[in-house]
């Protein structure tokens, strides 16, 4: 995610209610009727008079979890009962109060897996008619909790600061949630408007990319991070790596959009295939070396960072993910070995950023496993299904966190949902201060929550052992 260039990465399912006409579903022992006026669509389903009689509609579910189900029905012969089915399994009984004409009733919450899911009503008492099913996402179900995580840094020569940072994360993981905010200006907004200061500052190496520096870009991100460290805060860095070359630079594909696949002709797979003597391969190294200079400045100032390069790879909207997972993984390995082994930089806690097993660099390359989630405004659910996916991916052996969010997860839902993300970092600008993705009153509640750690509560995390 970058500033207003938003919402490219979206993991949400049916957040907006969707209605399915019963008569368009699969009918077993029942038929379509039109005699009772006022139905929606082409008719309604009628003739529930035998035990097996069933109507099933088929929503396509992209996010597993809890959904509200509402039924539009008619029960002209008095109150009836029906049985709710999810993929043919009984999911509760629903009482349909007496209703001439058409009524709607909440059927409560159903839990659905991903894919094409059959949501049905089966006869039970029968003698009612069904017009519509309405389904809306309400939450992501129950996560699988934490368990203790004690992994050593993947960099065997990690500095004392990097070791302490990872240890601190492991220590709070499962019990507390670290608050985070991208961009110093947005972090200041939180302090001034919410009245608390986040524990984590999110920064970006973007403007140190050589193809931006060549166009006059400058940055104070490193100075800001050093100052933040001096205040006792935790630093995380992403790198919107502007492509080394091949910037298209036409309207809508300007040079400064050069981290997007659509704004560069740079082919990462071809560059890596060139081998070490290739022109484009050397440009990759030139760029990594430029970032190494900045990481060294942080290291020299004894500042450890949560380092999250090559983020959101599977989306393919960034050039490092545009040529498949094999090229991506090769590049990840190159970034790691160049910074750690060649430049001897050991102040990084390595943060991976995918829940897709095809793209996960592997536990040997990741200290912390994260995803970025942008849900619709006001959806503060715990995102348990994504949490569970990361837990499965890492075998439960890595701290799991939300590297970017548009909407802050509710700490109570994280706890009750078994999805204790170690930290979240809210993206900058409108996401935090616009009042829509997160209301100010919600942010105040979160930032004052007993389980949410803010800057003043961090203590001497650098001496965690």
Ligand X SMILES: *[C@@H]1O[C@H](CO)[C@@H](O)[C@H](O)[C@H]1NC(C)=O
List of residues contacting ligand X (CB under 6 A): 215, 247, 249, 255
> Is residue 343 within 8 Å of residue 324, measured between CB atoms?
no
Question: What backbone torsions phi and psi does residue 405 show, to the nearest 5 degrees?
Answer: -135, 155
In angstroms, the CA 46 to CA 126 distance is 9
DSSP for residue 410: P
Judged by beta carbon, residue 247 or residue 291, the one nearer ligand X is: 247
Judged by beta carbon, residue 235 or residue 245, the one nearer ligand X is: 245
Residues 6+ apart with CB under 8 A from 93: 81, 82, 83, 84, 124
> Is residue 23 within 8 Å of residue 42, measured between CB atoms?
yes
- Which residue out of 207, 254, 404, 457 is catalytically annotated? 404
Judged by beta carbon, residue 212 or residue 398, the one nearer ligand X is: 212
Give the ranges where 337-439 is alpha helix by DSSP (H): 384-394, 411-416, 430-433
404 is an active site residue: yes
Residues 6+ apart with CB under 8 A from 281: 271, 272, 274, 275
Judged by beta carbon, residue 140 or residue 261, the one nearer ligand X is: 261
Both structure tokens of 252:
């809508």
Q: CB of 309: closest distance to ligand X in angstroms?
A: 23
Judged by beta carbon, residue 247 or residue 292, the one nearer ligand X is: 247
In angstroms, the CA 45 to CA 29 distance is 10
- Which residue out of 93, 254, 312, 457 is catalytically annotated? 312
In angstroms, the CA 178 to CA 196 distance is 12
In angstroms, the CA 31 to CA 278 distance is 68
Angle at the Cα of 183 from the Cα atoms of 457 and 307, rounded to 5 degrees: 75
User: For the chain, how long is the longest CA-to-CA vector?
Assistant: 82
In angstroms, the CA 272 to CA 400 distance is 30
Judged by beta carbon, residue 87 or residue 215, the one nearer ligand X is: 215
Q: CB of 255: closest distance to ligand X in angstroms?
A: 4
312 is an active site residue: yes
Q: CB of 240: closest distance to ligand X in angstroms?
A: 17
Q: What is the dihedral of CA 46, 47, 50, 52, to 10 degrees?
A: -40
Q: CB of 208: closest distance to ligand X in angstroms?
A: 17
Q: Which residue is nearest to ligand X (CB)?
A: 249
Q: CB of 253: closest distance to ligand X in angstroms?
A: 10
What count of other Cβ atoms lies within 10 Å of the Cβ of residue 404?
26
Q: CB of 247: closest distance to ligand X in angstroms?
A: 6
Instruction: Give the catalytic positions in this structure.
Output: 312, 404
């Amino acid at each position: 995610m970058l500033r207003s260039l938003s919402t490219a990465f979206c993991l949400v399912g049916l957040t907006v209610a969707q209605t399915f006409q019963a008569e368009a579903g699969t009918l077993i022992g029942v038929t379509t009727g039109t005699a009772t006026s006022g139905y929606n669509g082409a008719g309604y389903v009628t003739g529930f008079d035998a035990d097996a009689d069933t109507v099933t509609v088929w929503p396509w579910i992209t996010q597993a979890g809890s959904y509200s189900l509402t039924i539009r029905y008619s029960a002209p012969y008095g109150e009836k009962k029906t049985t709710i089915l999810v993929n043919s399994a009984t999911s509760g009984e629903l009482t349909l109060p007496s209703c001439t004409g058409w009524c709607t009733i909440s059927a409560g919450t159903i839990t659905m897996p991903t894919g094409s899911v059959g949501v049905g009503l089966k006869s039970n008492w029968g003698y009612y008619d069904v017009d519509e099913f309405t389904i809306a996402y309400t939450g992501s179900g129950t996560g699988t909790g934490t368990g203790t995580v004690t992994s050593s840094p993947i960099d065997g020569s990690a500095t004392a600061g990097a070791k302490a940072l990872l240890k601190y994360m492991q220590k709070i993981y499962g019990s507390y949630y670290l608050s985070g905010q991208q961009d110093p200006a947005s972090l200041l907004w939180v302090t001034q408007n919410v009245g608390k200061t986040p524990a984590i500052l999110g920064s970006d190496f973007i403007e140190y990319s050589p193809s931006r520096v060549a166009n006059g870009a400058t940055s104070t991100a490193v100075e800001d991070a050093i100052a933040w460290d001096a205040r006792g805060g935790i630093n995380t860095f992403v790198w919107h790596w502007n492509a080394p070359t091949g910037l298209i630079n036409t309207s809508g594909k300007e040079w400064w959009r050069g981290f997007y696949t659509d704004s560069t002709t740079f082919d990462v797979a071809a560059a890596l295939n060139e081998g070490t003597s290739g022109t484009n391969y050397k440009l990759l190294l030139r760029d990594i070396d430029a970032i190494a200079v900045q990481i060294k400045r942080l290291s020299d100032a004894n500042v450890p960072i949560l380092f999250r390069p090559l983020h959101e790879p599977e989306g393919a909207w960034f050039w490092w993910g545009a040529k498949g997972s094999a090229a991506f993984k090769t590049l990840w390995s190159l970034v790691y070995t160049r910074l750690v082994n060649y430049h001897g930089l050991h102040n990084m806690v390595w943060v991976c950023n995918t829940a897709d097993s095809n793209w996960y660099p592997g536990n040997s390359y990741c200290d912390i496993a994260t995803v970025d989630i942008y849900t619709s405004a006001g959806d503060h659910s715990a995102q348990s299904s994504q949490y569970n996916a990361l837990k499965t991916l890492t075998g439960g052996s890595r701290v799991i966190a939300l590297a970017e969010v548009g909407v802050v997860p509710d700490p109570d839902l994280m706890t009750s949902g078994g999805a204790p993300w170690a930290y979240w970092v809210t993206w900058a600008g409108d996401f935090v201060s616009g009042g829509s993705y997160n209301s100010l009153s919600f942010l105040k509640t979160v930032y004052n929550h007993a389980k949410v750690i803010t800057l003043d509560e961090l203590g001497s995390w650098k001496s965690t052992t």
